[in-house]
């Protein structure tokens, strides 16, 4: 299986995040990549195909904001990384706002996703990495792995959040659609619900979204990922959420994943995108499931057995030393 990664993805390195009422070290570090590359034996540089496929998913005003935010923040005299603090939770509408704090709040769903001077470049290349893997699979590869970082599934069409800036799974799925795949499914098995991916495809019937994740009644992102969220309009029934409790082990996770795969099989996709997070591992520092390194091999084999051309994109996973082994186990199982 071909693997893709661009060194420019390493440049995004926020210093700290708001966590439980104080600042802690940022969990989504460049060291995550080093752990994965060491375990999987390297990756190929993706081509630079420009931003058309990114613009096919994200609003132009949001992309302009991601590029402009660091200078606006600096010009406002602020130290460190740009972080929002006020959010338009009601009467969300187009306003001609220019203050950096207004723009940050308008384009974020939480205060835990800083924007640095290098964020745009790193996120852009994370998108190129997802696109390179998609091009490989659309061209006939059975599967490909995109070592995306920053991750993507919490980012919506016009907002960042949850360590995510560009939704790499959505970019891959949309690129596959535009390359001629009539029906695309996304299986999200990160510990957290992929609210951004769900939002992007909420009212579309051509991209099926299924997610196995920690119950949002107890876990981030709280406001998305409940079992009654099934999509709307043309997308009615094309979203499937399977929340699970703290302490979930392989048997329950595998059963839920099988439910998701059955629903995807009924949808009959031409291509599958897997949003793979290893923050379901038993020792993850911010999560509460109990999968083992060997379990990833089983889960990946179950997905591979379905036979769909598959693009695997990296999402979360924060136990640095184990992360590479967990990703290698998943890829070996596939």
| Residues noted as catalytic | 154
Beta strands 22-25 and 207-214, pairing class: unpaired
- Phi/psi of residue 205, nearest 5 degrees: -95, 0
Q: Is residue 196 at the binding interface for ligand Q9C, with CB under 6 A as the rule?
A: no
Among 181, 189, 315, 334, binds ligand Q9C (CB under 6 A): 315
Tell me how far apart the alpha carbons of residues 213 and 191 are, in angstroms, rounded to a whole number: 5
189 touches, from Zn ion, ligand Q9C, none (C-beta below 5 to 8 Å by class): none
Is residue 308 helix, strand or coil? Answer: coil
Query: In this chain, which of 72, 122, 164, 240 binds ligand Q9C, going by CB under 6 A?
Result: 164
Q: How many CA atoms lie within 13 A of 90 on its CB side?
A: 0
Q: Which stretch binds ligand Q9C (CB under 6 A): 88-96, 123-131, 157-165, 229-237?
A: 157-165
Is residue 289 near ligand Q9C by the rule CB under 6 A?
A: no
Smallest separation (angstroms) from Zn ion to the CB of 211: 11
Return the number of the residue (46 or 152) whose C-beta is nearest ligand Q9C. Answer: 152
Nearer to Zn ion, 160 or 181 (CB): 160
Residues in 205-264 that interact with ligand Q9C by CB under 6 A: 220
6-25: contacts with ligand Q9C (CB under 6 A): 19-20
- Residue 162 binding ligand Q9C, by CB under 6 A: yes
As a whole number of angstroms, the distance between CA 282 and CA 172 comes to 29
- When binding is defined by CB under 6 A, the residue of 73, 163, 208, 330 that contacts ligand Q9C is 163
188 binds ligand Q9C (CB under 6 A): no
By beta-carbon proximity to ligand Q9C, the closer residue of 231 and 316 is: 316
From 8, 39, 20, select the one nearest 317 (Cα to Cα): 39
Give how far the C-alpha of residue 31 lies from the chain's centroid of Cα atoms, to the nearest Å. Answer: 18
Q: Which two tokens stand for residue 120?
A: 């745009």
Q: Which helix (H) or strand (E) holds 332?
A: helix 320-333
DSSP 274-305: EEE--TTBTT-TT----B-HHHHHHHHHHHHT
By the rule CB under 6 A, 156 interacts with ligand Q9C: no
Binding residues for ligand Q9C (CB under 6 A): 19-20, 112, 151, 154, 162-164, 190, 192, 220, 277, 279, 286, 315-316
């Amino acid at each position: 299986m071909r693997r893709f990664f661009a060194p420019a993805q390493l440049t995004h390195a926020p210093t700290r995040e708001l966590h439980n009422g104080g600042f802690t070290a940022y969990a989504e570090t460049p060291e995550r990549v080093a752990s994965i590359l060491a375990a999987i034996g390297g990756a190929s540089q993706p081509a630079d195909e420009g931003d058309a496929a990114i613009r096919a998913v994200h609003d132009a005003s949001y992309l302009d904001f991601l590029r402009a935010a660091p200078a606006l923040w600096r010009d406002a005299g602020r130290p460190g990384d740009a972080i929002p603090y006020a959010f338009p939770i009601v009467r969300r509408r187009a306003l001609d706002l220019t203050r950096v704090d207004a723009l940050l709040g308008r384009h974020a769903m939480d205060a835990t996703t800083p924007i640095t001077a290098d964020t745009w470049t790193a996120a852009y290349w994370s998108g190129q990495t997802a696109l390179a893997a998609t091009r490989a699979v659309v061209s006939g590869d059975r599967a490909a792995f995109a070592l995306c970082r920053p991750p993507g599934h919490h980012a919506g069409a016009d907002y960042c959040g949850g360590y995510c800036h560009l939704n790499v799974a959505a970019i891959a799925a949309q690129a596959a659609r535009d390359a001629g795949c009539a029906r695309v499914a996304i299986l999200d098995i990160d510990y957290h619900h992929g609210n951004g991916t769900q939002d992007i495809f909420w009212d579309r019937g051509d991209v099926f979204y299924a997610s196995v994740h920690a119950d949002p009644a107890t876990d981030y992102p709280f406001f998305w990922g409940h079992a009654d969220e099934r999509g709307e309009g043309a997308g009615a029934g094309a979203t499937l959420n399977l929340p699970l409790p703290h302490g979930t082990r392989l048997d329950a996770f595998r059963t839920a994943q099988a439910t998701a795969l059955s629903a995807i099989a009924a949808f009959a996709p031409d291509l599958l995108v897997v949003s793979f997070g290893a923050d379901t591992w038993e020792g993850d520092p911010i999560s509460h499931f109990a999968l083992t390194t060997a379990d990833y091999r089983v889960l990946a084999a179950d997905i591979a057995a379905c036979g769909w051309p598959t693009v695997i994109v990296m999402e979360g996973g924060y136990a640095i030393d184990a992360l590479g082994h967990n990703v290698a186990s998943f890829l070996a199982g596939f």
